A and B are shown apart, each in its own frame.
Chain A
Amino acid sequence: MLVITCPVCGVEGEEADFHCGGEGHIARPATENPDGISDDAQRDYMFMRKNPKGVHFERWRCDRGCGKWFHACRDTVSMQIFGYYGITQRPPAALLKKADPLWQAHFEAAKKPSAKKAKS
């Protein structure tokens, strides 16, 4: 049983008061462009997950509190939680540095010019 702090309402609560929504930062291809999504791209979106052993970025919801979604950075082995950030935000650089290389590659691939600037 983890202790989780909701970054939205500040509630510190038991894991049972929250709901884990699995891996974060999965882009829904159809939202951007509903046409021309290949079967492979759709399959990856639906089923393929990083599932790292170590530091991971997950979606959580303050289920019994304010009802808002947020991101948490959690070590899947030690269960330590390193930090939280908004549901529409990217992981802060300090957390990304801790994360599994799979994650660094993920954001490297998705990096936009604006994100580059923010990195310094």
Chain B
Amino acid sequence: MSNKPYRVPTAGTGGTVGRVIDRSQMIDFQWNGRKYAGYEGDTLASALFANGIRVVGRSFKYHRPRGVLGFGSNEPNALVGVGSGNRQEPNLRATQVELHAGLTASAQNAWPSVEFDVGQVNSLASRLFPSGFYYKTFMWPQSFWKSVYEPIIRRAAGLGVAPEGPDPDTYEQFNCHCDVLVVGGGAAGLAAAEAASANGARVIIADENPQFGGISDIAGGTIGGEAQSKWIAATAASLAKSGNVHVMNRTTVVGHYHHNYVMMFERVAEHDPNLLSSGAPRHRLWKVRAKQVIIASGAIERPIPFANNDRPGVMLSTSVRAHLARYGVTPGYRGVVFTNNDDAYRTATDLLAAGVPVGRIIDVRAEPSGPLIEAAKSAGIEISAGSAICGLNAKSGGKHITSVKMAPYSTSGRVSGAEEEIACDFVAVSGGWNPVVHLHCHNGGKLDFDQKLQSFVPKPHADPVVTIGAANGTFGLGDLMTEAYAAGDKAGKAATGSKAAKAAAPKAASETEGNLEAIWFAPATGKYNEGNKHFIDYQNDVTAADLELAQREGYESVEHTKRYTTLGMATDQGKTSNIIGLGVLSGSTGKPIPEIGTTTFRPPYTPFSFGSIAGTQVGKLFHVVRRTALFDWHAEAGATWEPIGDWRRAYCYPKGEEDKHAAINREILTVRNKVGLLDASTLGKIEIKGPDAGALLDRVYTNKFSTLKPGRGRYGLMMNEMGFLFDDGVTVCLGENHYLMHTTSGGAERIVEWLEEWLQTEWTDMKVFVTAVTEQWSQYGVAGPKARALLEKLEGDVDFGADALSFMGMTEGTLAGTRVRVFRISFSGELSYEIAVPSHNGRAFWEKLLEAGEEFGVEPYGTEALHVLRAEKGFIAIGDETDGTVTPLDLGLNWAVSKKKADYLGKRALDLPHLAAENRKELVGLLTEDPNEVLPDGAYAVSEVSEKLPMDMIGQVTSTYWSPTLNRSIAMALVKQGRAKMGQKITFPVADGKVVRAEIVDPVFYDKEGERQNV
């Protein structure tokens, strides 16, 4: 089938046709795998028209052939996939895709091809797809869900194709502040920006199109006595040059949030492969804080639904006019204009002037009059007033319009009487204008119904946001310019405090236009359900009949009707359909539109790329990774990693063919029998100093610290005010009123903030300073029977003698040429030290430890060995034995919970009935009946195993490991009244019907007397 081109020759139009294309620059592109050519400046939509292609997609539900309806971002039909492979991007609007060399694009939702689509049988079976189809159909039986319904829905749902691999392009975000943000670069936006800028304000003006000017090129009217477009070009240029106005094209303001937080989506290089390859990001997401926001987002034309109004070739009137004026294309050779207002007459006269015949202007109004009507008449265009389209004939499976049927229209909404058939191959339709109130509404802006416009306009906003121009329902150019200048000046002054004289608005005027007549739907004559569909929401295939059905079925609230019918829920968010839908509902319920109300407008205004949302945070920047000074050493040693918070810690160090389990067992036995090294640098370290430092510690720890002598340390527990344990660690006394607190790795930041919070907000009289020093020091555990021998080999002034540095002692000195802090503390139960060195020496010192320990068989050990070692000793770990609901008493740590201290955090809560209750879960050890069986982590113990669920759960496993030291499995668990159940066996139903039995024992499995650490 050959497609005839629809490019209008320039000759004889006086340059009014095809203004933005460069006919000397041919560009090759691909559509559905075939090569075509267009011009520089074309959109994909206009280039397809130029090549005679009108069918650009298939509809979502019925798979009907669809063509372009609108222009710019309001297009509901022409969603296309652009690019290929890992650059494939689905669901772009063909009316926004700019043609560039090498562009490849294809139609969506069509199989095997857009010309012949198997899914079109849906259309024949359309009576099976009423509103609420999914709710009505996929209800029962439940067993059908997984096997039958879900696969069907999955195959049918979703638009477009996802890219095949990681996106090769870059994206980024940019944050900035401005005094005045102007949304929209039409006449109103530019005027407001100019007036704001005259006050010295920092202004951003953003327009989503490649060109500024809105619809100034096709709207008629004059500014300063000349064509609008002249003033537009001069003003845009002077603002760009000014240095205090950031002028952005291809930038859609997608969302407005609290306190004038505005999100803008800039298509930086999408349209230009050269820009992309020179390092520009494909898209950039702007996060703007504006003191004042001026919304000049214009208005969107709405169609008038009539029978089969979705046929390719039915277009919005302004879309026809804009395509002609900008790209010199038309959707066909002979048009008909269907309208309820004066503006569409401009389309008719423009078409005729460009040599495209207009078969008729069909106007629903009984007596249209005014200069635009006169102009059309004098151009010789036939006008049928008081009429409406009542049918449409097409051939080639609906892809080619041949004529429309017209009949008299009465204000009651009926179309009846003598029918007339008018030959045409396209229809330009206009049903009035809907101000773009989306941004105004994103953040709670309310609306008023404007009777004259038959649409909603913004009410004053609580934030410093104002809407002007067509978006505010102001259409006459003179009024619009006055309003825009005043708003710009006011915003500029409010943001800057400027007292500059107000810039004078240039004189502007446009033709007088008569009122429109409300019409929401021109029904087909005869039985309009018979094969005739009146589409309201093109993208989701919602018809007038669907809305009426929903209303008959009792869906009264517009929010419910929306969800039931999916009206306005497609990617275009109902830009062309919402108000019409309300109008149809108004007709069928008899309620006026304002009583029906609108649905919620949510960001984004138009869809934007995931790439821009991710911005820089992809690949290695996807998530923050914190490195200790030994990060590279661990990597070189072949460590496997464990993420702890944002840290990467070495989990274990497999050697050769060793698997993780073998490596962990070897590391544990090395510590038990020889000596091991641990990178413990991630432990939180906080210096605490001041006259009340000891008193502060007494209040945040459950035990007493103010009695600690310099050079000594103590293990402490921290509770929150609910009595729950949330951190632990050893705090040492460095000197008088000077302490160093160790926290868990995960608690490092939290605890310093915790201390600050209490000091600043509650104990404001306390004289204490706290400073986090975590990263200043790299800290290494040296643990095992040979630890002392190893350290004594290093040159320095530290005495490691058992008496000089006894258990829980600390000292400072020099070791291997480095300033060190030495702590004799143990989390493994072995003779153990932790050595802190300034981090710049971390790696060098670690390597000296390894060197010195070589003769003792020293090896590094990772976090898993650390955990097994502590579990063998029954030491708790925050986050394993605690989960935010566990008290120190639950864990049997009564020895560390002071009864004498008058007050410390959480103390009072421990006496509350629910915490003092007898049936609390208590920490116990577990030995499985089968010593080779390692309980799953988190396994639940039940009082009785039964078929019937739920079983009575009496506890859960908190730590569970294979202990190479004991050559059997060990576990710890929190069990209801566990300490009273010593020696009893409890059962754990685990996966696949298996039951594991274990004996409740003391949680200290190894060296109960603690002799090994005290040598």
B379 at the interface (CB under 8 A from A): no
- Report the minimum CB–CB distance from A18 to chain B (whole Å): 13
Docked pose: A14 CA to B259 CA in angstroms:
10
A88 touches B258 (CB 8 A): no
B760 touches A34 (CB 8 A): no
- Report the minimum CB–CB distance from B463 to chain A (whole Å): 9
A68 at the interface (CB under 8 A from B): yes
B875 at the interface (CB under 8 A from A): no
B residues 275-290 touching A (CB-CB < 8 Å) = 289
B residues 685-722 touching A (CB-CB < 8 Å) = 721-722
- Report the minimum CB–CB distance from A91 to chain B (whole Å): 15
A116 at the interface (CB under 8 A from B): no
A1 touches B908 (CB 8 A): no
Between B259, B261, B756, B902, the greatest number of chain A beta carbons within 10 A of the residue's beta carbon is seen for: B259
For B260, the chain A residues whose CB sits under 8 A away are 3
A59 at the interface (CB under 8 A from B): yes
- Count residues of A near B (Cβ-Cβ below 8 Å): 27
- Report the minimum CB–CB distance from A65 to chain B (whole Å): 13
B903 at the interface (CB under 8 A from A): yes
For A37, the chain B residues whose CB sits under 8 A away are 908
Docked pose: A75 CA to B927 CA in angstroms:
57
Kindly specify which of A38-46, A48-56, A104-112 makes contact with the partner chain: A38-46
What 0/1 readout, one digit per residue, does chain B (764-788) give for beta carbons within 8 Å of chain A? 1000000000000000000000000
Closest to B444 in A: A78
B763 at the interface (CB under 8 A from A): yes
Between B462, B760, B761, B912, the greatest number of chain A beta carbons within 10 A of the residue's beta carbon is seen for: B761
B909 at the interface (CB under 8 A from A): yes
Closest to A42 in B: B908
A39 touches B912 (CB 8 A): yes
- Report the minimum CB–CB distance from B214 to chain A (whole Å): 29
B903 touches A39 (CB 8 A): no
B760 touches A87 (CB 8 A): yes
A residues 64-112 touching B (CB-CB < 8 Å) = 67-69, 78-80, 87-88
Closest to B263 in A: A1
Closest to B759 in A: A69
B908 touches A34 (CB 8 A): yes
Interface of B is mostly: mixed
A11 at the interface (CB under 8 A from B): no
B449 at the interface (CB under 8 A from A): no
Closest to B722 in A: A46
Docked pose: A31 CA to B913 CA in angstroms:
21
A59 touches B903 (CB 8 A): no
Docked pose: A28 CA to B908 CA in angstroms:
11
For B760, the chain A residues whose CB sits under 8 A away are 68-69, 87
Interface residues on B, range: 20 to 34
Closest to B913 in A: A39
Known interface pairs A61-B757, A79-B258; A46-B762 also in contact (CB < 8 Å): no
B757 touches A30 (CB 8 A): no
Docked pose: A88 CA to B761 CA in angstroms:
7
For A46, the chain B residues whose CB sits under 8 A away are 721-722, 909
A30 touches B912 (CB 8 A): no
Which residue of B257, B259, B909 contacts A42 across the interface (Cβ within 8 Å)?
B909
Closest to A79 in B: B258
Docked pose: A50 CA to B261 CA in angstroms:
29
For A115, the chain B residues whose CB sits under 8 A away are none
A21 at the interface (CB under 8 A from B): yes
B907 at the interface (CB under 8 A from A): yes
For B258, the chain A residues whose CB sits under 8 A away are 1-2, 79
Which residue of A30, A59, A79 contacts B908 across the interface (Cβ within 8 Å)?
A30
Known interface pairs A1-B257, A42-B912, A67-B756; A87-B761 also in contact (CB < 8 Å): yes
For B756, the chain A residues whose CB sits under 8 A away are 67
Which residue of A3, A31, A61, A79 contacts B762 across the interface (Cβ within 8 Å)?
A31
Known interface pairs A1-B257, A2-B258, A78-B462; A21-B757 also in contact (CB < 8 Å): yes
Docked pose: A46 CA to B757 CA in angstroms:
16
Known interface pairs A3-B259, A28-B762; A80-B462 also in contact (CB < 8 Å): yes
Docked pose: A88 CA to B764 CA in angstroms:
8
Docked pose: A20 CA to B907 CA in angstroms:
25
For B762, the chain A residues whose CB sits under 8 A away are 28, 31
Closest to B443 in A: A79
B902 touches A34 (CB 8 A): yes
Between A2, A3, A30, the greatest number of chain B beta carbons within 10 A of the residue's beta carbon is seen for: A30
Closest to A29 in B: B908
Known interface pairs A39-B913, A42-B908; A79-B259 also in contact (CB < 8 Å): yes
For A39, the chain B residues whose CB sits under 8 A away are 912-913
| Given A42-B909, A42-B912, A67-B756, 13 additional A-B pairs, CB 8 A | A14-B289, A21-B757, A31-B903, A34-B903, A34-B907, A35-B902, A39-B913, A46-B721, A61-B753, A79-B259, A80-B462, A87-B761, A88-B764
Binding site for B on A (CB under 8 A): 1-3, 14, 21, 28-31, 34-35, 37, 39, 42-43, 45-46, 59, 61, 67-69, 78-80, 87-88
Binding site for A on B (CB under 8 A): 257-261, 289, 444, 462, 721-722, 753, 756-757, 760-764, 902-903, 907-909, 912-913
Could you give 14 example pairs across A and B, Cβ below 8 Å? A1-B257, A14-B289, A21-B761, A30-B907, A30-B908, A31-B762, A34-B902, A42-B909, A43-B912, A46-B722, A46-B909, A61-B753, A67-B756, A78-B444
**Top 4 nearest A-B pairs by Cβ distance?**
A34-B903, A3-B259, A1-B261, A79-B258
